[in-house]
């Protein structure tokens, strides 16, 4: 039996990855380490929590004693590291938490892996899940490739860039068998509704204003979360040590296009008149330092490992709308309590 540590497995992408791994690899014990911050929710994994090859450990990746003890307890063959503070807006109001978790937490894991594996790297792998935001912001033309110069511009992306550099440094300095992927914006079920797509679906549902930053012309390259999970699996098993792979869906959309599309889809599903909810669109003060455009060139992953997204944007967004409309209880649970305080602080004087 192999043992793998997945960090941040109670979050959005992490929960999809844990579910996939537990179901696809019954001979691998999947250990999910998560601090259960506001973004982590064990309800995301209810369907697999009793599987014999799954175990949850609550804890903080910055806690070096705990991480060392987990390596001693489980003798991990591999780590897939997703735990992070992940929301740009929160990084603007509270950068320190991002430095702590995303940078110090990553180094804590690297140190523990290095000590436990102690130069015996046969069959071992440390996979760091990162973002395209490390490359900065594009103008109207061009794509991010694996050799694009790092140019992070928010505290979030700067903390992720820093962690990427440290992961590479541990490869070059200590020979740690690492692999990194930098992915574009994900969407799908179980995403915390502070991010654009679930926030807008939830607000349409409740006829609340739909906050669009600036003029809504910023572009993101959207990838269905299941396709990201497939890419992680492929890179974990077949990627080359020390390499970076960009993952993207070739689905560039302006924010306003996304918001209008969601209005149409949700209105149709709820039996409202077509596009009725567009009247809820409210342009609000722009995000500070708002990156204009992200777009990924995932040519390397396609040609070297044969990855392609399996879901079109139209299919993925329909699945996503259906998921949120049929999981109202999940939305209600995660939007009670602290979420209301966050929402008031983030949007109170903007809307
Ligand atoms: P998320 O915010 O939904 O989940 C993060 C998880 O990490 C939560 O379960 C949280 O409880 C846990 N966590 C936070 N701090 C922790 C700590 N100190 N110790 C242990 N656990 C902690 O994030 P997500 O959207 O699922 O993103 C997962 C990873 O993928 C992140 O590293 C992010 O940078 C990266 N990524 C995300 C996207 C995206 O569009 N969401 C795109 C590219 C890359
Ligand atoms: P988000 O989902 O926060 O992801 P990221 O900032 O990592 O790309 O935001 C996606 C885009 O949507 C981004 O350009 C900011 C914009 N946005 C809004 O216009 N309104 C909102 O309420 C939110 C949360 C985001």
pLDDT tens, position by position, 297-307: 999 999 999 99
Find the range with the poorest average confidence among 13-27, 92-106, 199-213, 334-348: 334-348
Pick from 31, 69, 35, 33: nearest CA to 51: 31
Distance CA 202, CA 234 (A): 33
Q: Quick one: DSSP state of residue 144?
A: B
Q: Quick one: DSSP state of residue 138?
A: B
pLDDT exceeds cutoff 90 at 249: no
Q: Which residues contact residue 184 at a Cβ distance below 8 angstroms, ignoring those fewer than 6 apart?
A: 132, 220, 221, 222, 223, 247, 248, 249, 294, 295, 296
Helices (H), 213-351: 225-238, 255-269, 299-305, 313-326, 328-334, 338-347
Q: Which atom of ligand 1 is nearest to the CA of 191?
A: 3
pLDDT in tens, 110-127: 999 999 999 999 999 999
User: Ligand 1 within 6 A of 135 CB?
Assistant: no
pLDDT exceeds cutoff 90 at 295: yes
Q: How confident is the model at residue 72 (pLDDT cuts 50, 70, 90)?
A: very high
pLDDT exceeds cutoff 90 at 53: yes
- pLDDT recorded at residue 351: 81
pLDDT exceeds cutoff 90 at 350: no
- pLDDT recorded at residue 346: 93
Q: What is the pLDDT averaged over residues 244-268?
A: 97
Q: What is the pLDDT averaged over residues 323-328?
A: 97
Helices (H), the chain: 12-24, 64-74, 88-93, 95-98, 106-117, 155-174, 196-205, 225-238, 255-269, 299-305, 313-326, 328-334, 338-347
- pLDDT recorded at residue 332: 94
Q: How confident is the model at residue 245 (pLDDT cuts 50, 70, 90)?
A: very high
Q: What is the pLDDT averaged over residues 264-288?
A: 96
Angle between helices 12-24 and 225-238 (to 10 degrees): 60
8 A C-beta contact, residue 3 and residue 10 = no
User: Ligand 1 within 6 A of 235 CB?
Assistant: no
Q: Report the SS3 class of residue 284.
A: strand
CA–centroid distance, 7 to ligand 1, in Å, is 9
pLDDT exceeds cutoff 90 at 275: no
- pLDDT recorded at residue 67: 98
pLDDT exceeds cutoff 90 at 274: no
Q: Which atom of ligand 1 is nearest to the CA of 192?
A: 3
Ligand 1 pocket test, candidate residues 44, 56, 86, most atoms within 8 A of CB: 86
pLDDT exceeds cutoff 90 at 349: no
- pLDDT recorded at residue 181: 98
Q: Report the SS3 class of residue 6.
A: strand
- pLDDT recorded at residue 322: 98
Tokens 């993101």 locate to 220
> What are 125's two structure tokens?
């792998």
- pLDDT recorded at residue 172: 98
Ligand 1 pocket test, candidate residues 82, 89, 182, 235, most atoms within 8 A of CB: 82
pLDDT exceeds cutoff 90 at 219: yes
Q: What is the pLDDT averaged over residues 210-219?
A: 98
Q: What is the pLDDT averaged over residues 15-44?
A: 97
């Amino acid at each position: 039996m192999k043992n793998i540590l997945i960090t941040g497995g109670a979050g959005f992408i992490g929960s999809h990855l844990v579910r996939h791994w537990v179901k696809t690899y019954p001979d691998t014990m999947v250990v999910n380490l998560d601090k259960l911050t506001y973004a982590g929710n064990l309800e995301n994994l209810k369907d697999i929590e009793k599987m014999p090859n799954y175990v949850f450990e609550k804890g903080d990746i910055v806690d070096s004693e705990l991480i060392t003890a987990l390596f001693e307890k489980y003798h991990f063959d591999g780590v897939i590291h997703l735990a992070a503070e992940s929301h740009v807006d929160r990084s603007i109001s509270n950068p320190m938490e991002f430095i702590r978790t995303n940078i110090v937490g990553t180094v804590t894991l690297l140190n523990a892996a290095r000590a436990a594996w102690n130069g015996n790297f046969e069959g071992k792998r440390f996979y760091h899940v990162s973002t395209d935001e490390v490359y900065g912001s594009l103008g109207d033309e061009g794509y991010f490739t694996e050799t694009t110069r790092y140019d992070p511009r928010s505290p979030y992306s700067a903390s992720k860039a820093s962690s990427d550099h440290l992961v590479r440094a541990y490869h070059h300095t200590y020979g740690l068998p690492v692999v990194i992927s930098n992915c574009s914006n994900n969407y799908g079920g179980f995403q915390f509704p502070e991010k654009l797509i679930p926030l807008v679906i939830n607000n349409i549902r409740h006829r609340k204003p739909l906050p669009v930053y600036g003029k809504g012309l910023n572009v993101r390259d959207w990838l269905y979360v299941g396709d990201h999970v497939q890419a992680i699996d492929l890179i974990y098993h077949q990627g080359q040590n020390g390499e970076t792979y960009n993952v993207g869906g070739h689905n560039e959309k302006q924010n306003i296009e996304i918001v209008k599309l969601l209005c149409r889809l949700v209105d149709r599903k709820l039996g409202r008149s077509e596009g009725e909810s567009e009247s809820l669109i409210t342009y609000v003060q722009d995000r500070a330092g708002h990156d204009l455009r992200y777009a990924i060139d995932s040519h390397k992953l396609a040609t070297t490992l044969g990855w392609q997204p399996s879901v079109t944007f139209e299919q993925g967004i329909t699945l996503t709308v259906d998921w949120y409309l049929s999981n109202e209880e999940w939305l209600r649970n995660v939007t009670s309590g602290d979420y209301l305080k966050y929402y008031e602080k983030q949007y109170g004087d903007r809307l």
